[in-house]
Structure 1
Amino acid sequence: MQNEKQVLKVSVYGALIFAIVAIVWGVAGNSQMILFDGLYSLISVALSFFSLLSAAYIQKNDFKRFPFGKEMLEPIVILSKYTVILLLCMYAFSSAAADLLSGGRMVEPGMAVLYALLATIGCYVVFLYLNKQKKSLNSGFVAAEANQWMMDIYLSFAVMIGFLAAWFMTMTPFAHVTPYIDPLMVMLVSGYFVKVPLLSIKEQVKEVLEMAPEKGIQTEIEKTSSHIKEKYGFDESILRVSKVGSKLFIEVDFIVDTDKWEPSINDQDRIREEFYECLIDIPYTKWLTISFTSDRKWAL
């Protein structure tokens, strides 16, 4: 299995190649749509390189300066990444709208269709690779890269369909509509793409604010906490869970009635081990803190 750094390098180099080809092709073919694709890829290169540096920095051990780890950098970097993509989509939409209102833009459909076909195939190959690695590495950085390439697939495929339609139009009485195809596609694609960064920004903000993780993980941990409480006859269990990057912070306080049973240090460690084993299938690094108290105020 390849490590996170190697996988991110593939994304960086792939995006750089696509960016150069698209920008040159877009300028040569006078296509704002292809140019948008190239600029999107170029920004992806810078952002992917930033992700690569951040991933390497997070993996460095620096306990004295970061006693709780550096996983918070992951959502911050991904949040920055999608914010830039959101701004790019908004700029592309407004620029295309201006072109549409000013009479459109003449593009050579044949060149554009060829570019879109090659780009769609290339993006799909890189996406398949990243998606496979995402499942094995469980990395937020790799997941963000895979999402980015998925957006590129849709973008390239939309370009191909749009320019195929424009190509056929040149052979019909509607040939005068052809100049409007390029800016119209930019508006449709960039408008649709706004949804992806917005949803991702929402998820990353939740992690930066250290909010509760997704419902499935939360439910699994709650079941484990309730099971341990009932098994050992504790009065109550108070659970706090948050997800930051690839790390789950889990804090459990068991309220103990010392008149019934007062767990020894060995008992407490055995319960911690049992709790941890119940969560072994959750694919994140766990920061597990389990405390025992007879006074509820220390758990609140």
Structure 2
Amino acid sequence: MPTKGKSFVPIIRERSNAEIRQSKKASIMSKTSTQQEQKLLAISIAVTVLTAIAGVVFGLMIQSRTVIFDAFYTLIDSVMTLVALGVSRLIARGDDRLFQYGYWHLEPLVALVNGLVLVTACVYAVLEGLNGILSGGRVVDFGPGAIFTGIGGVICLTMAAFIHIRSTNIQSELLRIDARAWLLGGVISLGVCISFITCNLLVEAEYAYLAPYVDPFVLMLLAGSLLPLPLQTVWRATREILLIAPPELDRTAREAARIVSERHGFAAFESHVMKAGRVNFIEIGLVAPSGEMTRSFAELDEIRQEIADELGGAVPGHWLTVDFTADKRWI
């Protein structure tokens, strides 16, 4: 280990990392918020399974591929929510000897799988709708279908609002994805309801020959319009998995390091950031001026606290490491 002046620098760095990691790990997520997250996910799973089963049965009864797709979409969501619940419980366990940074990295993996599955479902629905149109459409009992999908849409939107409101103080990607899935399900159901009502009006207006094409057309239209949303989830999760630094977090960390570095006369600074699920990993290195004498640990802790304050305080969701050295190559 290189030294300049006295050999205190490597020791300071080692102690600083150990102390800050221990304090930040304890504050990343409170036990109460984790329990609330798991409770909301469990409620979501129960409601999702019930609505999915009802949708499949009713869709088969009225022979509507659109209703079946709506139920299938909901069923996919229930499976992914179940996976998310398992991940949430792993995260609540904290770090161990195998995963020493915890299980936060599983969040973007779940988001990626969820997004890919929904993308596949949407693409399949578009192709199914196109095939229905080319094959002459299908006759559907639109009256009961409008009632059922309307009720389903209200349930989905209510669940989306419920989860969003109850999870406002929880920085959970899992709940954010689940709330978005409920919102998408609600939009699909209400869209199908409107299309069924429109079809009834067409029949009454002597345009009955268009009725068989309504179901596949709406299926294709809705699935195609929803496709960009899971694609955004895939893109965001892929960025986290590839450890691409979030621009806003990077700017915030560099600005905090610059302010504190200039305030205390450090010769240089460097920052590194990454995001894994709901946790922001931030590492800041400060280079002491040439020939500077030893600073006390109390002074270094004060500097570290100033950096935390510049980042918004020691809030849950930040894993902060601050390095002090006299040799720039160590940062």
Aligned 8 A contact 2:269 2:284 in 1: yes
Q: CA deviation at 1:281?
A: 5.4
Which residue in the other structure is 1:220 paired with? Answer: 252
Alpha-carbon deviations, 1:171-213, whole Å to 9, x = none?
Answer: 1131100100000011011111110111110000111112212
Alpha carbons 1:133, 1:142 under 8 Å: kept: no
- Structure 1 position 265, deviation (Å): 2.5
Q: Please list the CA deviations of residues 88-112 of structure 1 after superposition, one character each: whole Å capped at 9, or x if unmatched.
A: 1111111111111000011111111
Alignment partner, residue 157 of structure 2: 124
- Find the aligned partners of 1:188 and 1:210 in 2 and give their Cα distance: 35
* CA–CA distance in structure 1, aligned partners of residues 239 and 269 of structure 2: 24
Secondary structure in 1 matching 2:281:
strand
- The separation in 2 between residues aligned to 1:85 and 1:114, in whole angstroms, is 25
Cα separation, 2, equivalents of 1:282 and 1:199: 30
Question: Which one of 133, 146, 150 corresponds to residue 166 of structure 2?
Answer: 133
Whole-angstrom CA distance in 2 between matches of 1:91 and 1:262: 65
Match of 2:284 in 1: 252
Task: Give 1:296 shift.
Answer: 1.5
Cα displacement string for residues 144-176 of structure 1 (whole angstroms, at most 9, x for unaligned residues): 100101101110111111111101001113110
Report the secondary structure of 1:138's partner residue: coil
Residue of structure 2 equivalent to 1:231: 263
Q: Secondary structure at the match of 1:241?
A: strand
Higher relative contact order (CA 8 A, sep 6+): 2
2:37 aligned residue: 4
2:105 to 47, 67, 72: 72
Q: Report the equivalent of 1:291.
A: 323
The letter for the 1-side match of 2:53 is I
Q: State how far apart, in whole Å, the 1-side matches of 2:263 and 2:206 are.
A: 78
Count the aligned residue pairs: 298
Question: Within the alignment, does 1:113 sit opposite 2:146 as a pair?
Answer: yes
Whole-angstrom distance in 2 between the partners of 1:27 and 1:282: 54
- 1:268 is aligned to 2:318: no
Question: Helix, strand or coil for the counterpart of 1:292?
Answer: strand
Contact 1:241 1:249 in 2 (8 A): yes
Secondary structure of 1:136's match? coil
Q: Distance in 2 between matches of 1:4 and 1:269?
A: 33
Unaligned runs of at least 5 residues, structure 2 = 1-32
**Where in structure 2 are the equivalents of 1:197-208 lying within 5 Å?**
197-208=230-241
Aligned residue identity for 2:229: V
CA RMSD of aligned residues (A): 1.6
Q: Which amino acid aligns with 2:114?
A: K
- The 8 Å contact of residues 248 and 284 in structure 1, kept in 2 or not, is answered as no
Tell me the secondary structure at the aligned position of residue 187 of structure 1.
Answer: helix
Counting only pairs closer than 5 Å after superposition, residues 129-168 of structure 1 correspond to structure 2 as 129-168=162-201
CA shift digits 1:35-69 (9 cap, x unpaired)? 00011111111111111111111211342111111
Shift of 1:280: 3.6
Supply the AA of the counterpart residue of 1:180. Answer: Y
CA displacement at 1:127 relative to structure 2? 0.6
Deviation at 1:260, TM superposition (A): 5.2
- Aligned pair in 2 of structure 1 residues 168, 121: CA closer, same or farther (>3 Å)? same
Between the aligned residues of both structures, percent identity stands at 27
Contact 2:94 2:103 in 1 (8 A): no
Instruction: State the TM-score, normalizing by the size of structure 2.
Output: 0.86
Secondary structure of the 2:204 match is coil
Looking at structure 2, the residues matched to 229 and 261 of structure 1 have their Cα atoms a distance apart, in angstroms, of: 17
TM-score after normalising by structure 1 = 0.95
Seen in structure 2, the aligned counterparts of structure 1 residues 25 and 50 have a Cα distance that, compared at 3 Å, is same
Gaps of 5+ in 1: none
Q: Deviations over 1:207-258 (max 9, x none)?
A: 111221252x333322211110111011221011111011111011112113
Q: Which amino acid aligns with 1:249?
A: F
**Letter of the aligned partner of 1:243 in structure 2?**
K
Equivalences for 1:49-68 in 2 at 5 Å?
A: 49-68=82-101
SS in 2 for 1:137: coil
